[in-house]
Structure 1
Amino acid sequence: MSTDKLKLPSYGGQALIEGVLMRGKYALAAAMRSPDGQIIIETEELKGIYQSSLSKVPFFRGLILLWDALGLGTRYLTRSANLQGGEEEKIEGISLYLTLAASLAIAIGLFFLTPAAIGKAIQNLTGISSLAMNLIEGVLRLGGVILYIWGIGRIPDIQRVFAYHGAEHKTINAFEAGAELTPETVKQYPLEHPRCGTSFLLTLIILSVLVFSLVGNLPFGLLLLSRVLLIPVLAMLAYEYIRFTANHLDHPLIRWMIRPNLALQSLTTREPDSAMLEVSIASFNAMLELEKSLQEKIILPKPEPLTVSGVGGYQNPPE
């Protein structure tokens, strides 16, 4: 099987605590550096909804990405934290689910409900239009996210996570360029990547201004409820935008459009050291090996014969 068939948009990943998770279409792998210096690798086959026809439906597939971040991503982030903390500091069971629920509630409260409440209060005091209120809300949301990322980025432990984020980007960039995956080679590649979750977040925030404006002027309670209920809609729209721009990077306009997304990644990435790159490469190679073995088991449909007037063209199945 050629490497070309396994290229984008299948591959992505995320930083863990002293580790990196790499995700393909059929499998994922997480590599984590244990306190004694060993690289621990865990792999998992992606089944169920990931291989269903729903994963190919435009817009709905954005919800799967959201589940990736809330489900798979958080699960492996917790595993990496437990590996560093030891048995006595493990987070699992009911305490894990309560922590995740509380974290999600705080995030929605800070970045969706609070800006909406402030925007509504300003509207009530000044009588500005619904559009102006939504613009103020969007600016507050964007400013809050940037300030939050900047603030936590000053914490040494988070800086290491951001460095592993940079290692993940560099590894995928090197693979896409067809380079040899060694720390010496991978470190030469960019920290930024157009399909980064940071880009997804910025796109979601910008789209929120448009989507929330369409809702119109609502009473305070319904306003807050709409901000929560429309998060899945924003995720679906943001995913399709990121997917479209990532598939058309050869166009000058698209490259111009994604500049803000790439610029924001400077807050969530740091230059990794060689040991971090080793972890990221180990994760990618483990994922790639399992990905290939699983893909070889899948029987792909035979191509339909070309008609006399038809124009032939073959594309990879949509991700």
Structure 2
Amino acid sequence: MHLKEAGNQRAQETSALLYSGDELNHSLILNLNQASETNVSANEKDLIVGGQAVVEGVMMRTPNAFAVAVRRPDGQIVHTGAQLPKWSDRYKILRLPVLRGAAVLVQSMALGVKALNYSAGEAFAGAQEQEQEAVQVVLTPAVVEGEGDFAGITGGVPGLIPIPTKKQPKDELKRGATASAAGSIIFALIFNVLLFIVAPLVLTNALFIAAGWSVPTTSSAQTSATPNSSSATTQATTNAPNQAPEQTAWYRRAWAGARYYLHPVRPSVGFNLIDGMIRMSFFLIMIFSFSLLKDIRRVFEYHGAEHKTVFTWEKGLPLEVAHAKLQPRQHPRCGTSFLMVVMLVSIVLFSIVKFDSLLLNMLTRIALVPVIAGLSYEIIRMSAKREGSLVFRLITLPGLWLQNITTKEPDEQQLEVAIYALKESLKLEPQPQEVVMTPLS
């Protein structure tokens, strides 16, 4: 794999891991007026914009449309966009509380996949085409005679020189980009489930048993001794009665200990509080680790460009780089600002819905993700109506701190891309907004 392709893949996979929070929250805000009929004027609704950073670009959302702008290696800005139909208009049931939030989650994920797919296909398109048109190969007699996929050379000394090759059809490139994006999203979903649902639950379960804060719920676990005791070792040697406990294979003793700590503990409020803290710790470690990667730093820079552009629009300033660069890169409506809401909702919900089976608790938590999204949506919906309230400031404060990591100061070219995306999205609104169309260098 070429270095640029490897960087593209890594940035795409990491963007897939990170995009959902930011895009979901902006979608929540954007859909406040779409999910139900409220006393909000059309002008106020049109002012609500948001977006997310993608590979070498930005996707911008307006109430009824979206646009993705990407800067190609040759410096050209390319874009795509479309109007977004309201799911609540097609399916009236999606206007109901909680359901509308879950629908926003699904729509946001689908749109995020589309944006990442497009950006990944365009970000390194120019470099890939150049690599396809001229590759360096060591000349052999077969190459010189024109065999294989290389053009024939009639003279010269064998060496390392560029030779034109057959171009890959564009439809094959698109299929490859689609497959790559789909693979990244599948990987991200599996990764998130394992890291943020399965691992915290198992670790918290083991911690409660090891600390003696709770006993296993099954009768066999309640009567069993600790894994270091002779009875646990004896259980591990039931298939080898002639062996002394101290002669038991290490892997049998390890398996006996693992089984002991995997006996389910009925989740309580304290259990879910520690589970949530472990989940948040994993997230912070992941974000900080990704911020050290050069490729991901550029994604964070585009994230900052997106926030600065949104601030410029919300303040009624002309959409120009000179105005955008003066705006702060931390935005209170960023998806990271509402992680605390999701964590608190999950703690309460997981404390209510619980079982005496570790596997059943895992499956239940995965199944409750849309419900948590729906409930969090309703809380966000109520708090967003009063952005100056104390509750809103408390909710957004942790996210503003976290944005010191997830956003970086963008350069002027990155701001140009973000502004370009917002202008294109505004053009696609049913009643296109008047924007200052200054030329982009």
Q: TM-score, normalised by structure 2?
A: 0.62
- Provide the residue aligned with 1:300 in structure 2: none
- Provide the residue aligned with 1:131 in structure 2: 269
Identical aligned pairs, as a percentage? 36
Q: How does 1:185-196 map to 2 (within 5 A)?
A: 185-196=323-334
- Provide the residue aligned with 1:113 in structure 2: 198
| 1:294 Cα deviation after fit | 7.1
1:114 alignment partner AA: A
How far apart, CA to CA, are the structure 2 residues paired with 1:96 and 1:274? 28
How far apart, CA to CA, are the structure 2 residues paired with 1:204 and 1:84? 33
Aligned partners of 1:122 and 1:133 also within 8 Å: no
Q: How does 1:72-111 map to 2 (within 5 A)?
A: 72-86=111-125, 91-94=176-179, 96-111=181-196
| Bigger mean CA offset, 29-38 vs 73-82 | 73-82
Which residue of 273, 276, 293 corresponds with 2:414? 276
1:87-116 Cα distance to aligned partner (Å, 9 max, x none)? 677644555434422321111111111001
| Bigger mean CA offset, 251-260 vs 161-170 | 251-260
2:213 alignment partner AA: G
How far apart, CA to CA, are the structure 2 residues paired with 1:254 and 1:96? 35
1:43 aligned counterpart, secondary structure: strand
Aligned partners of 1:130 and 1:217 also within 8 Å: no
2:66 aligned counterpart, secondary structure: strand
Which of these two proteins has the greater Rg computed from alpha carbons?
A: 2
How far apart, CA to CA, are the structure 2 residues paired with 1:285 and 1:93? 26
Q: How does 1:45-56 map to 2 (within 5 A)?
A: 45-47=83-85, 49=87, 51-52=89-90, 53-54=92-93, 56=95
2:117 aligned counterpart, secondary structure: helix
1:37 alignment partner AA: G
Aligned partners of 2:113 and 2:182 also within 8 Å: no
Q: What are the ranges of 5 or more consecutive residues in structure 1 without an aligned counterpart?
A: 296-319
- Provide the residue aligned with 1:122 in structure 2: 207
1:113 alignment partner AA: V
Which residue of 27, 34, 41 corresponds with 2:79? 41
How far apart, CA to CA, are the structure 2 residues paired with 1:45 and 1:234? 28
- 1:246 matched to 2:384: yes
- 1:6 matched to 2:144: no
1:163-218 Cα distance to aligned partner (Å, 9 max, x none)? 11111111111111111111110111121222212223443223212211122453
- Provide the residue aligned with 2:337 in structure 1: 199
Aligned partners of 1:26 and 1:294 also within 8 Å: no
Distance 1:179 1:218, change over 3 A: farther
How far apart, CA to CA, are the structure 1 residues paired with 2:269 and 2:388? 34
| 1:291 Cα deviation after fit | 0.9
| 1:225 Cα deviation after fit | 0.8
RMSD: 2.4
Aligned partners of 1:19 and 1:276 also within 8 Å: yes
2:197 aligned counterpart, secondary structure: helix
1:258 aligned counterpart, secondary structure: helix
How far apart, CA to CA, are the structure 1 residues paired with 2:309 and 2:197? 33
Q: TM-score, normalised by structure 1?
A: 0.84
1:263 alignment partner AA: W
How far apart, CA to CA, are the structure 1 residues paired with 2:328 and 2:80? 27
Distance 1:105 1:37, change over 3 A: same
How far apart, CA to CA, are the structure 2 residues paired with 1:39 and 1:253? 40
How far apart, CA to CA, are the structure 1 residues paired with 2:202 and 2:186? 22
Distance 1:198 1:54, change over 3 A: farther
Distance 1:278 1:56, change over 3 A: farther
How far apart, CA to CA, are the structure 2 residues paired with 1:244 and 1:92? 39
1:212 alignment partner AA: F
| 1:117 Cα deviation after fit | 0.9
- Provide the residue aligned with 1:310 in structure 2: none
Q: How does 1:269-308 map to 2 (within 5 A)?
A: 269-293=407-431
How far apart, CA to CA, are the structure 2 residues paired with 1:121 and 1:166? 40
- Provide the residue aligned with 2:364 in structure 1: 226
Distance 1:50 1:34, change over 3 A: farther
How far apart, CA to CA, are the structure 1 residues paired with 2:287 and 2:346? 19
How far apart, CA to CA, are the structure 1 residues paired with 2:430 and 2:270? 51
2:79 aligned counterpart, secondary structure: strand
Aligned partners of 2:67 and 2:421 also within 8 Å: yes
| 1:25 Cα deviation after fit | 2.1
1:121 alignment partner AA: A
How far apart, CA to CA, are the structure 2 residues paired with 1:236 and 1:2? 25
1:189 aligned counterpart, secondary structure: coil
